[in-house]
A and B are shown apart, each in its own frame.
Chain A
Amino acid sequence: MNVAVLLKQTPDTESVIRIASDGKSVATDDLKWIVNPYDEFAVEAALRLKEKHGGTVTIISWGPQRVVESVRTALAMGADSAVLIDDPALEASDGLGVATALAAAVKQINPDLVLCGSRAVDYDQAQRGPMVAEFLGWPHLALAVSIDSDGQTVTIERAIEGGKVVLESSLPALVTFGGSHAVWNPRYASLPGIMKAKKKPLAVKKLADLGVDASEAGAAKVRMTSLEMPLQRAAGKVIDGGLDMAAKAVELVRALHEEAKVI
């Protein structure tokens, strides 16, 4: 079974976010970059499917050259090869444009299954997966917290508001990943893995190589025109004043009831 994983590089979740001088983008000068955690879960799941069924795992990513490092991380975890879409035309694009390019890259590889994150922890757009599935004309199953396949179908479990469901689709299909580190426990790249990753094939493609019209895919329908920081919370109040433990409980309940009016 051949699996493709859509992988985005995102700033480390430790990052403190600052607005760049243009007022509409995030300052990237002192950011550390990581594989989007949900995509790391998808890589882990792809490798487990490969262990069970054989086949290959291909990483697909769009981004500037720095993305190579994250792609190599996935190769070091055990993926076989990668396609990097490195085309500045997409920089002014939106979710739809990027999804168009990703879908075109998927078509060239022609996998049985595409796995991707449910959202990237940078812009939280939560849209590329379903969009890619739509462009491929495939079903997609969203927010997997477990995945299994018999080679013909794929089955996932996912949480929904107020319960959980088991979903199934015939292949080819796309699955987006939810859950958390505790659910997927993604493997680390081993030292031999890191050595091997350096020699694994990484194809760099332009939109033209994918048969995508750069002017169309690069024209955003929606874009972020300004950023703002959240309101700073006013300095809070520590309930102390020499009160003993029981009196603090009384004072906290009074404050929540009378001042905050939330209970």
Chain B
Amino acid sequence: MGKCVCIIAEFRHGAFRRVTYEVASEGKRIADALGIGLWAVAAGSGVAEKAAELGRYGVEKVLVIDDPALENYLAEAYVPAVADAVAKCDPAAVILSASVDGKDLGARLAARLKAGLAQDCTQIVCENGKIKAKRPIFAGKCFGWCEWAEGALPIVSCRPNVMDCLAPMEDKKAEVEKVQVSVADLRSKVKSIDLDTSGKVELTEAEIIVSGGRGMKGPENYALLEDMAKVLGAAVGASRAAVDSGWRPHADQVGQTGKVVNPNLYIAVGISGAIQHLAGMGSSKFIVAINKDAEAPIFSKADYGVVEDLFTFVPALTEEVRKLKSSCS
């Protein structure tokens, strides 16, 4: 068995992403169960200064790859460097985030290290010194437990927003060791990057999602949902029907061929609840359906259903939420 559990931290724009703390917390639980330490590999531009803070989540040692060329994720630049650092850790298991980049990195890393990869896991357990991981398949219509062959290195990517974060130990610092790499002679590059600075909440990481379907009737009516989302601090999603109609950008599509989301609260507005849509949001902790058709299948999945015309109900609901928020603050 390897000598540590190794997590791969995700560092973007000067900070670790929240999911990295979830990954570290999960890594700590697994490392404790195996009776070994928790190490991390952190790559990025400027990451050296921040790496010690991973100690707050139980990381003992961080191998840091700090290079301006790693400002943005590019597989060709990241993979060789991260793979070398991971190999140095001699891990019993590697855990990273199932973010867009994490899944990409995990896949190439598995090929390079000849490891067994389980993507997008929602639970990791340790049984008799061996790891098992649970992951959704068919966009959540079913779940599968993965086990690794004797001697195979497990690489597990964790779905964001699912694993619990440990309470940070504020005074703990991780030991930091710099790893030298040369990121050169790349055939691929980031040509331009366009960051959305509107503060829009990313669907897959949102705690509340308000989603609209064909019942919204047209793109202009999404203002109703945007208003409610603003009051709730929510992200706005859409069904495929709304995206296919050109009302909403494709990145907003929730479902089997869109994003699989698991917020605390999912409010489906004017969405019938087709099986492909349910697959993408069925694991939300609470589901609210607003639909004027009492027979719509979405009601069979909803914790709370309201049979009303959305055009009158949504503004009324937004108003009530606003009242609640102002009385709470």
Contact = CB atoms under 8 A, between A and B. Distances in A.
A95 B72 CA distance: 27
B37 interface: no
A195 interface: no
Interface in B229-274: 232, 240, 243-244, 246, 250-251, 253, 256-258, 260, 264-265
A127 B191 contact: no
A124 B143 CA distance: 11
Contacts of A256: 265, 286, 288, 304
A92 B149 CA distance: 12
A121 B205 contact: no
Contacts of A135: 111
B142 A130 contact: no
A124 B136 contact: yes
B144 A180 contact: no
B192 interface: yes
A4 interface: no
A51 to B, nearest CB: 23
B71 to A, nearest CB: 12
Contacts of A124: 119-120, 135-139, 260
Interface stretch (B44-52, B95-103, B219-227): B95-103
A34 B232 CA distance: 39
Contact of B257 (A14, A145, A180, A262): A180
A180 B277 CA distance: 13
A262 B208 contact: yes
Most buried by A among B142, B190, B276: B142
Given A13-B256, A252-B288, A253-B324, A96 B110 contact: yes
Contacts of B289: 236
Interface stretch (B54-62, B169-177, B314-322): B314-322
A1 B302 CA distance: 50
Given A126-B107, A222-B152, A230 B283 contact: yes
Nearest to B290: A252
Contacts of A143: 100
Contacts of B260: 124
Interface string A81-109: 00000000000001110010000000000
A14 B37 CA distance: 45
A263 interface: yes
Interface in A45-83: none
A131 B106 CA distance: 9
Interface in A145-176: 145, 155, 159-170, 173
Contacts of B139: 121, 124
A26 B136 CA distance: 13
Chain A residues touching B, majority SS:
mixed
Contacts of B143: 227-230
Interface residues of B, number: 103
Interface in B270-300: 275-276, 279, 282-283, 285-289, 294, 299-300
Contacts of A37: 257
Contacts of A234: 303
A163 B194 contact: yes
B16 interface: no
B257 A167 contact: no
What band does the interface of chain A fall in when counting residues whose beta carbon is under 8 Å from B? 35 or more
A181 B152 CA distance: 38
B15 interface: no
A191 interface: no
A125 interface: yes
Contacts of B147: 222-225
A116 to B, nearest CB: 12
B117 A127 contact: yes
Given A124-B136, A163-B193, A169-B188, A134 B116 contact: no
A262 B265 contact: yes
Contacts of A223: 146-147, 149
A133 B145 contact: no
B268 to A, nearest CB: 12
A219 B149 CA distance: 9
A171 B243 CA distance: 32
Given A13-B257, A13-B275, A263-B321, A122 B138 contact: yes
A182 to B, nearest CB: 5
A90 to B, nearest CB: 15
Nearest to A10: B138
B41 interface: no
Most buried by A among B149, B196, B288, B303: B303
A249 interface: yes
A183 interface: yes
A95 B205 CA distance: 27
Contacts of B307: 238, 240
Contact of A17 (B99, B142, B149, B250): B142
Given A13-B257, A169-B76, 9 more contacts: A15-B138, A124-B135, A124-B138, A163-B195, A167-B188, A221-B152, A223-B149, A228-B144, A249-B313
